Structure 1
């Protein structure tokens, strides 16, 4: 990584380009203009917004599949809006020229820095032969450098990959030790595969498997409180629109507007999930395994139902489930009781996904979409395990950003 890719350099450049430049252009040598209370307040506020936004962007960039240039605008927009909300609530005067100008120039700086740093972006990883390392070459985001002899390849190198569970030749063991002493990062094959694919595969239990993916208990409680507040606010703001959607559903086809179904939730407890009805009332999913699976171009889905499913509007009544403490905004999607029982019989560790509250959206949904069948569900389970192991506000923010994009694109809907 070049110096432009370092967090402190990006923050310093953004403060110079996004704060000092517009202030200098506006007031120049007029020190009285610089020292006005609202100017000082705005400078402090934009400095906080820029710092929080870029730190958040860097945290998101550590997650699989994140391109900084794509998420730079959402991350900085959220941080600037949060700081602006704080200024408005505290009734603090700020400069209406400097604040939006700083936001725009910071975006320009991040894009310029990203473009200049692009040639250092490709990750180059050397691979020690043996074990499961052959499975890595299918991942395209990395330049893989398989080694035939214990000698480092020429050029820039981001790390060395090795399957630490295999018995290594003493020559390779000395080579790995020398690389570590030289400051080269050593990655276990399973660790790098997880970080690049966003999936955590568990094929057998070890002495620390379950302990390593236990979700953080403190964040679990904080998340529940934040979920409840946001769900209450969203329900109040969206209530007229939700009533309108319910009325249109009743007009299109006979039956109730709200569809109710038993699903398996937090810690394996069943609960009644609420959704807008998207299927004909006489052909909706029932309590059997076949009826619980939605297929491509399912004839039971109504015309309005297709739109509601594509935009995920059909999930909005689950805000009530969030208020009841049965669900979260973000988490593994809850499965129907018959599907959950069937998957539990077919897949090892399936029920462990219920260690966190199910969500309206989740990591598997934004990466995979709707699934049907054991193979796809096993892949979905790997995404769920990754979410549980990396349970954090940054991963939740990333899922929220991607969910908005999915609501627009309709990715993975059925």
Structure 2
């Protein structure tokens, strides 16, 4: 058995660990996108007696790159997008913040140096992404008993089924996964897993791995996951509220003209008000009025509330555009200022749907423990839901958000929301 467990390597080879460490990445990126461009533009004299403009630009690039790499390191812990576009968006965001800080504090900087450094940073990110793709998808050995078999349907990993604990294939894996509570887990399998742990091989329960790969938390019975473990942090709840208000006030000068133009176009296209006001269920199960730009005919719900469908005839021409780009959600910034909503959180539903889902979906109302959001984990991971089955999956995404309620997850959702706005993912 010892020979078998030694075939599983918990860690990568030393050069893989070195290359992918945050410190090493920061050093390499500093050399590539700060030191090298500085030498090309200003020569060796810069490193002896730099000018204020040069020094501000040089240090700003180093800080931006370090921040981008730290953000990526934190965000990549969560399931979801692993595309190069996601990595590029993080770098562009950090450089954008750098430009804003230079403007606010009236610091001198070299726009040419910053642009060259940005290009080098993006080139380094591309090279690192393509070289590291082989390590992005985990290689997982699976014990084929109990609920662990359901993991084979998950495409976020490469699976290798262990048919016999006495005959382990000679291959390197990132971890071993088993349903540790399965009645079918025989003494032979238990001994095998125990020996793996003693040998320093990582062994995880199937439910834990499923959550980390899919970004969903399944709760069907109380014993599977006590709801107390999903309580959101009260400290971050206060911080999040402060961030919401500051962020909305900051973007209002940009958003208000867009809202004004949108309202005028809606009024010109069809009769009825530009705004659509509707009762939704928010935090604690309390109802509130949600504001949206009207994207349907003014009498679209005269026969009662119902889900929008693909190619819904009730949606106007302008409505299709503002739904795809999410412009129809902009009036909800006022809901955020009022405290009814947050920028990030589970999407609020109408009371008629909430009552329906509470009868058919276990613990559905637990999603009301946090403020609903304009965008959320379920929206960027799943898109639009149109029936009870889709809503069951959406609730599992919402539970994951509540369980991992943090600044880093909110930042990831912001990045993915921007991608959603550009691609129109999930719009109806």
Question: Under TM normalisation by the shorter chain, which class is it?
Answer: over 0.9
Residue 346 of structure 1 pairs with residue 360 of structure 2 = yes
- Which blocks of at least 5 consecutive residues in structure 1 are unaligned? none
Shift in alpha-carbon separation, 1:21–1:344, aligned structure 2, 3 A: same
Paired residues for 1:80-229 under 5 Å: 80-151=95-166, 152-167=168-183, 168-206=185-223, 209-229=226-246
Larger deviation, residues 393-402 vs 272-281:
393-402
* Correspondence for 1:397 among 392, 411, 420: 411
- Which blocks of at least 5 consecutive residues in structure 2 are unaligned? 1-11
Q: 1:342: Cα distance to partner?
A: 1.2
Query: Is the Cα contact below 8 Å between 2:282 and 2:368 reproduced in 1?
Result: yes
Paired residues for 1:8-407 under 5 Å: 8-30=23-45, 34-67=49-82, 69-151=84-166, 152-167=168-183, 168-206=185-223, 209-284=226-301, 288=304, 291-407=305-421
Deviations 1:141-160 (CA, angstroms, capped at 9, x unpaired): 32211112225432221001
What is the Cα-based RMSD across aligned positions, in Å? 2.0
Distance 1:231 1:159 in 2: 43
Distance 1:35 1:293 in 2: 62
Q: 1:207: Cα distance to partner?
A: 8.5
Q: 1:408: Cα distance to partner?
A: 2.4
Query: Is the Cα contact below 8 Å between 1:57 and 1:68 reproduced in 2?
Result: no
Larger deviation, residues 174-183 vs 377-386:
174-183
Query: Is the Cα contact below 8 Å between 2:80 and 2:381 reproduced in 1?
Result: no
Distance 1:22 1:408 in 2: 32
Distance 1:281 1:121 in 2: 48
Distance 1:297 1:119 in 2: 39
Deviations 1:265-287 (CA, angstroms, capped at 9, x unpaired): 0111100001111222223367x
Query: Is the Cα contact below 8 Å between 1:124 and 1:157 reproduced in 2?
Result: yes
Query: Is the Cα contact below 8 Å between 1:161 and 1:189 reproduced in 2?
Result: yes
Normalising to structure 2: TM-score of the pair?
0.90
Q: 1:8: Cα distance to partner?
A: 2.3
Query: Is the Cα contact below 8 Å between 1:23 and 1:34 reproduced in 2?
Result: no
Query: Is the Cα contact below 8 Å between 1:18 and 1:106 reproduced in 2?
Result: yes
Number of paired residues? 411
